[in-house]
Structure 1
């Protein structure tokens, strides 16, 4: 059965998704939404940087795209600063009977205990009303800290602690505004960045900890515990997306911790540097500039690193690609799922079927 798909946005991630949809044998790209008037009317293949036309013209006409009655929408529009807009979009799509796979808002990866129950119920009801499903995922939050660690737990005799995380070199990260405004890179060490205000880390990554706990039938203490460290630049740094003056924030490490009876049991950790020689005592990947990591203490003890690079060796571009592919490759499973909100822990195995050539 061919699944008819609309791609919603053609930013950095959306362009990758257009190409990925075209590569999947069971998917047919039937429409593309753009918010930039300059892109309206352009062929989706050209917008995606492909060397050919796909015969699908981009449009900013929402009603025209919904009138196509696609089976699914791959939603890669920015949502972290337009959370309620994203919720309204999802509600409209689900009620129209259109399945949705989305890269954000990331807390919808597993929103229980993070957003009001009535908001979760409203989305689920919209899906049941239209007979459609919503799945929010990616790589982090996403596959690297839900599917990957949960698969490893199937090898366990007993589990004492699960630690999942990202070790990243942000010197080649493309999102300077996110680095500056949210993470606080290049800003005074006297100013606490928004990401580190009480409750923000748990809001952004608590879904990871809570989904693992739910899948393992574990009840966590409340609230989740937040920890962080920051380091200043020892000299002026010029990275891809911004300048980092000496003395301003240049590295960050944080944890979101799920405890049981006051003892750490599930930890989400991020280690972020903007120069290779920073924080030598913090965790480092075994190879390359970044990785996703899973450690399980118990019987047996397990350590797994997922490294990734694109053809030019850029792990940040590769990170965007694997985010797009996790969404696109999940479309078929989400379309087949029961209506409502679908979480990674509930989906069947998703593979790259049809992509080996």
Structure 2
């Protein structure tokens, strides 16, 4: 069965999604939404940098795209600063009977305990009304800290503690607004960035901790515990996204912790550097310049590192690639799922079927 797909945005992630949709044998790209007037009318293949036409012209007319009767929207538009607008988009698609696979808002990966239950119920109701499904995922939050650790737990006899996390060099991360304003890189050490205000870390990554707990039938203490540590730059740094003067924030380590009876049981950790010589006592990848790490204490004890690197780029580019492909490769399973919200823990195994190179 051919699945008719609309790609929503042609930013960095959206361009990779267009390529991915074109590569999947069961998917047919029928429309592309753009918000930039300069992109309207341009062919999707050219916008995606594929060097060829796909025969699909981009448009900023949302109603016209829904009139194409797509089966699913792959939604890669920016959502962290337009949360309610994204929710409204999702409800409109779902009521129209169109499934949605989205990269954000990330807390919708498993929103219970993070946003009001009535908001979750409204999204679920929109899906049931239209007979459509919403799935939000990616790589982190996403596959690296929900699917991967849950697959590993299938090997366990006893689970004492789970730690999942990212260890990365963000010097080549290109999102200036995120790096400087949200994370606080390059900002004075006496200025607390928005990400580290009470409740913000749990809002961003608590969905990971709570989804793992729900999948393992564990009841966590509330609220989740947040911890962080910051280090200043010892010299001026020039990053891809921003400047980091000496003495301003240059490295960040944080945890979002799910406890049971006051004891750490499920921990989401991020270790972020902007130069290789920073924070020598913080965790480092066993190989390469960044990784996702899963550690499970119990019987047996298990640990795995997952790394990636682009064929023609760095780990930042490949990070976007794996995010886009996790969404695109999930489309068939989401289309087959029951209406309403569906989470990573509930989907069947998703593979790269049909993608082996010839």
Q: Deviations over 1:272-315 (max 9, x none)?
A: 00000000010111111111110000011111000000013500
User: 1:41-120 alignment to 2 at 5 Å?
Assistant: 41-120=41-120
Q: TM-score, normalised by structure 2?
A: 0.99
Q: Is 1:356 aligned with 2:356?
A: yes
Measured against aligned partners, the alpha-carbon deviations of 1:14-45 in whole angstroms (never above 9, x if no partner) come to 00000000000000000000000000000000
CA distance in 1, matches of 2:313, 2:295: 25
Residue equivalent to 1:260: 260
SS at match of 1:266: strand
Aligned to 1:288: 288
Superposed, which structure 2 residues align to 1:196-207 within 5 Å? 196-207=196-207
Alignment map for 1:150-165 (pairs within 5 Å): 150-165=150-165
Aligned match of 2:240: 240
What is the alpha-carbon distance in structure 1 between the residues aligned to residue 43 and residue 287 of structure 2? 39
- Which string of whole-angstrom CA distances, capped at 9 and with x for unpartnered residues, describes residues 97-138 of structure 1? 000000000000000000000000000000000000000000
Q: State the alpha-carbon separation in 2 of the partners of residues 77 and 59 from structure 1.
A: 14
What are the ranges of 5 or more consecutive residues in structure 2 without an aligned counterpart?
none
User: C-alpha deviations, 1:196-254, integer Å up to 9, x for none?
Assistant: 00000000000000000000000000000000000000000111111100000000000
SS of the residue 1:18 aligns to: helix
How does the TM-score come out when normalised to structure 1? 1.00
Gaps of 5+ in 1: none
CA distance in 1, matches of 2:103, 2:285: 25
Match of 2:300 in 1: 300
Secondary structure of 2:151 counterpart: helix
CA distance in 2, matches of 1:176, 1:92: 31
Q: CA deviation digits over 1:136-160, x for unaligned, max 9?
A: 0000000001000000000001011
The C-alpha deviation readout for 1:310-330, integer Å capped at 9, x for no partner, is: 013500110000000000000
- Counterpart of 2:149? 149
Q: How many equivalent residue pairs?
A: 357
CA shift for structure 1 position 176: 1.3
Give the distance between the partners of 1:135 and 1:243, measured in 2 at CA.
Answer: 36
CA shift at 1:177, angstroms? 1.3
Aligned to 1:16: 16
Q: Relative to 1, partners in 2 of residues 1:131 and 1:137: Cα closer, same or farther, differing over 3 Å?
A: same
- Report the Cα distance in structure 2 between the residues aligned to 1:207 and 1:225, rounded to whole angstroms: 13
Cα RMSD, aligned residues only: 0.5
Matches within 5 A, 1:217-228: 217-228=217-228
Secondary structure of residue in 2 paired with 1:121: helix
Q: Partner of 1:344 in structure 2?
A: 344
SS at match of 1:285: coil
* Separation (CA, whole Å) in 2 of partners of 1:307 and 1:140: 13
Structure 1 CA distance for aligned equivalents of residues 233 and 209 of structure 2:
31
Cα distance in structure 2, aligned partners of 1:12 and 1:86: 18
Q: What is the alpha-carbon distance in structure 2 between the residues aligned to residue 312 and residue 82 of structure 1?
A: 32
